[in-house]
């Protein structure tokens, strides 16, 4: 395994991700672990290398941020990245000039000398034969003097010592960030370090992660009870499956049905978690309560606020009863959440200082404090694609784990204006037909379904009526809009160029099968200036 010591960079977890992608096990621990901890961690002989991460600000002046000296006494390779390079320089007798504000940006690095870390790795060679690398790098603090035994490994115009190595002791340090994708050869460099220099074997798979995570959850929770808000979305589902694997019936899931879910979604969640996984799930049918509060409300933000508030109310009432020992739960002490790493980054929590941060845009944000519960977040270190892989490894169905995202307020933001049960019922049927056909239609070239080729797709209910003709009669019915987008980050999005044959099939099925809808339109707006959801 590889140990990553985190000095608090926002991208530290990316190091872990790249290494796990290379099928090598690694763990991230805060940089302030003690020498004894390090020696103990290495005791079983499985530790093959240490990586010292970057830091999120210019913190060189902060004397508490130093690497434990024991790291350099284990006889195993060490790689310092950015701040980690300063840590190496400082620990081994070099000099760092600190106190500057750091900038993060593109740079071109020239490889110097011949080191095992860079051997054969370059983006291009200069006419003089120097290997050049396109990298993402922090400028600012600099190593101004290398420690004894080190030689120059890389430089840039503004940073003469951009990389250094003591190949005898197998200590390497780079000023740039190999873990970010902008550093084109970053993967190759990290792989070179963990596989060739540290000598790990690429035999780690997600299945191994499960046993580690299960063990961790058991230790954390002991024999106490845990509550989890299950939404049916990917993150909470995978968290539930993982925690259930670890502690079985000590976990109680609360599934709030607000009446704004997709067709049969509630039943599917229950079938999966109760029927197949045999987990304890309390299904709260709160549709009447939600719809009651939404009656007469047209304004999108007001609707969102009501849905958010009611969700918290319902969940709190349920959790309070479980906390007090209701419904054959002894009295829950923990609240589990499916927070994943991007949520941690978004809320600024990716620091080694251990403050617990809660996913702010989540429906249950703020609840742990209000309920006096401890937080359990077993997916905190994982990226979305890792969460999906984990879900599959835990036995969740592929279709559930690779679902498009669904917003917390559900159909509430897809029924324009006032939400009514009648509208929700019509929309659910139309939406289900659209999704079914997206799954059915395969793209000839890639062989993938259009569901997989789009990032998010759904129907939107427009509460306006238009005239149509059906058989011999005149109809005067509602309109739905279809929306399908392609995006990598949901910040910007293009509308998907769905095949006409697919649109034709969906339109004809919706109009024929959903009584009350006689017109289907396709939304051809990109984001920006439109948003993905209509409200
Ligand atoms: P917009 O409409 O802002 O949506 O382009 C971007 C992405 O965010 C999802 N979304 C939400 N997700 N709670 C959520 O959990 C919400 O309140 C919410 N509003 C929008 C939307 O579905 C899209 O994927």
Residue 150, C-beta contacts closer than 8 angstroms, at least 6 positions apart = 92, 94, 164, 165, 166, 171
Query: How many residues are present in the chain?
Result: 535
Helix (H, G, I), strand (E, B) or coil at 485: strand
Tokens 């049960």 sit on residue: 421
Any ligand 1 atom below 6 A from CB of 533:
yes
Residue 533, C-beta contacts closer than 8 angstroms, at least 6 positions apart = 407, 413, 414
> What was the pLDDT predicted at 58?
60
User: pTM of the full predicted structure?
Assistant: 0.78
Any ligand 1 atom below 6 A from CB of 338:
no
Q: How far is the CA of 483 from the centre of ligand 1 (A)?
A: 13
Pocket test for ligand 1, best of 532, 534, 535 (most atoms within 8 A of CB): 532
> Residue whose CA is closest, atom 20 of ligand 1?
407
> What was the pLDDT predicted at 101?
67
Any ligand 1 atom below 6 A from CB of 405:
yes
Is residue 175 classed exposed, middle or buried when 0-12, 13-18 and 19+ CB atoms within 10 A define those classes? buried
Q: In DSSP terms, which residues pair with 442 in a beta bridge?
A: 449
| Cα gap 166→85, rounded to integer Å | 12
Residue 415, C-beta contacts closer than 8 angstroms, at least 6 positions apart = 423, 424, 427, 460, 461, 463
**pLDDT, tens digit only, all 535 positions of the chain:** 999 999 988 788 889 989 988 999 898 888 989 999 999 999 999 999 999 998 876 656 677 788 999 999 999 999 999 999 999 999 999 999 876 666 778 999 999 988 999 999 999 999 988 999 999 987 778 899 999 999 999 999 888 999 999 999 999 999 999 999 889 999 999 999 999 999 999 998 888 889 989 999 999 999 999 999 999 899 999 999 999 999 999 999 999 999 999 999 999 999 999 999 999 999 999 999 999 999 999 999 999 999 999 999 999 999 888 988 887 888 999 999 999 887 776 555 444 333 333 223 444 456 778 888 999 999 988 888 889 999 999 999 999 999 999 998 999 999 999 999 999 999 999 999 999 999 999 999 999 999 999 999 999 999 999 999 988 899 999 999 999 999 987 888 999 999 999 999 999 999 999 999 999 999 999 998 999 999 9
Number of H helices, E strands in the chain: 16, 21
> What was the pLDDT predicted at 358?
27
Q: How far is the CA of 60 from the centre of ligand 1 (A)?
A: 39
The encoded tokens of residue 278 equal 């045999």
User: Domains, the chain, ranges and CATH?
Assistant: 2-197 (3.40.50.880), 206-401 (3.40.50.620), 420-522 (3.30.300.10)
| Cα gap 427→425, rounded to integer Å | 5
> What was the pLDDT predicted at 365?
55
Pocket test for ligand 1, best of 528, 533, 534 (most atoms within 8 A of CB): 533
CA dihedral 69, 70, 71, 76 (to 10 degrees): 140
| Cα gap 128→144, rounded to integer Å | 26
Smallest Cα–Cα separation from 531: which of 480, 495, 482? 495
The encoded tokens of residue 302 equal 């007001």
> What was the pLDDT predicted at 56?
72
| Cα gap 279→237, rounded to integer Å | 11
Any ligand 1 atom below 6 A from CB of 456:
yes
The encoded tokens of residue 389 equal 């892989």
Is residue 8 classed exposed, middle or buried when 0-12, 13-18 and 19+ CB atoms within 10 A define those classes? buried
| Cα gap 259→266, rounded to integer Å | 9
């Amino acid at each position: 395994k590889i140990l990553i010591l985190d000095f608090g960079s926002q991208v530290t977890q990316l190091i872990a991700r790249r290494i796990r992608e290379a099928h090598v096990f690694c763990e991230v621990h805060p940089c302030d672990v003690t020498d004894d901890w390090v020696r103990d961690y290495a005791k079983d002989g499985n530790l093959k290398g240490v990586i010292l991460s970057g830091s999120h600000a210019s913190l060189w002046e902060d004397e508490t941020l130093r690497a434990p000296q024991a790291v350099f006494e284990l006889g195993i390779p060490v790689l310092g990245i950015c701040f980690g390079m300063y840590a190496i320089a400082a620990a081994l007798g070099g000099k760092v000039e600190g106190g500057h504000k750091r900038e993060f940006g593109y740079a071109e690095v020239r490889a110097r000398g011949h080191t095992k870390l860079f051997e054969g790795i370059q983006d291009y060679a200069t006419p003089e034969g120097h290997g050049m690398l396109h990298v993402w790098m922090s400028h600012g603090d600099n190593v101004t003097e290398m420690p004894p035994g080190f030689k120059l490994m890389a430089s840039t115009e503004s940073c003469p010592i951009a990389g250094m190595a003591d190949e005898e002791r197998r200590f390497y340090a780079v000023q740039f960030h190999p873990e970010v994708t902008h550093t084109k050869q970053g993967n190759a460099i990290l792989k070179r370090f963990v596989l060739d220099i540290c000598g790990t074997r690429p035999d780690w798979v997600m299945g191994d992660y499960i046993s580690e995570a299960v063990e961790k959850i058991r230790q954390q929770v002991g024999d106490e009870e845990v509550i989890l808000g299950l939404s049916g979305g990917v993150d909470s589902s995978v968290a539930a499956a993982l925690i259930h694997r670890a502690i079985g019936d000590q976990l109680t899931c609360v599934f709030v049905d607000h009446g704004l879910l997709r067709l049969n979604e509630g039943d599917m969640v229950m079938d999966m978690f109760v029927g197949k996984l045999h987990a304890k799930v309390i299904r709260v049918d709160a549709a009447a309560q939600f719809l009651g509060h939404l009656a007469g409300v047209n304004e999108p933000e007001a609707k969102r606020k009501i849905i958010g508030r009611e969700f918290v109310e319902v969940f709190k009432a349920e959790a309070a009863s479980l906390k007090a020992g209701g419904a054959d739960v002894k009295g829950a002490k923990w609240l589990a959440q499916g927070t994943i790493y991007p949520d941690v980054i978004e809320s600024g929590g990716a620091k080694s200082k251990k403050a617990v941060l809660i996913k702010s845009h989540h429906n249950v944000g703020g609840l742990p404090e209000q309920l006096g519960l401890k937080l359990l977040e077993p997916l905190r270190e994982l990226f979305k694609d890792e969460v999906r892989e984990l879900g599959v490894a835990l036995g969740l169905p592929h279709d559930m784990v690779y679902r498009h995202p669904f917003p917390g307020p559900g159909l509430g933001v897809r029924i324009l204006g006032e939400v009514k049960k009648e509208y929700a019922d019509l929309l659910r049927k139309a939406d289900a037909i659209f999704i079914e056909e997206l799954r059915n239609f395969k793209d000839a070239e890639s062989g993938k379904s259009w569901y997989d080729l789009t990032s998010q797709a759904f129907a939107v209910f427009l509460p306006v009526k238009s005239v149509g003709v059906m058989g011999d009669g005149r109809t005067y019915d509602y309109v739905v809009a279809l929306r399908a987008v392609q995006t990598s980050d949901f910040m910007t999005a293009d509308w998907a160029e769905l095949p006409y044959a697919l649109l034709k099939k969906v339109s004809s099925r919706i109009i024929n099968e959903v009584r009350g809808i006689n017109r289907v339109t396709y939304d051809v707006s990109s984001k920006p200036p439109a948003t993905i959801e209509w409200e």
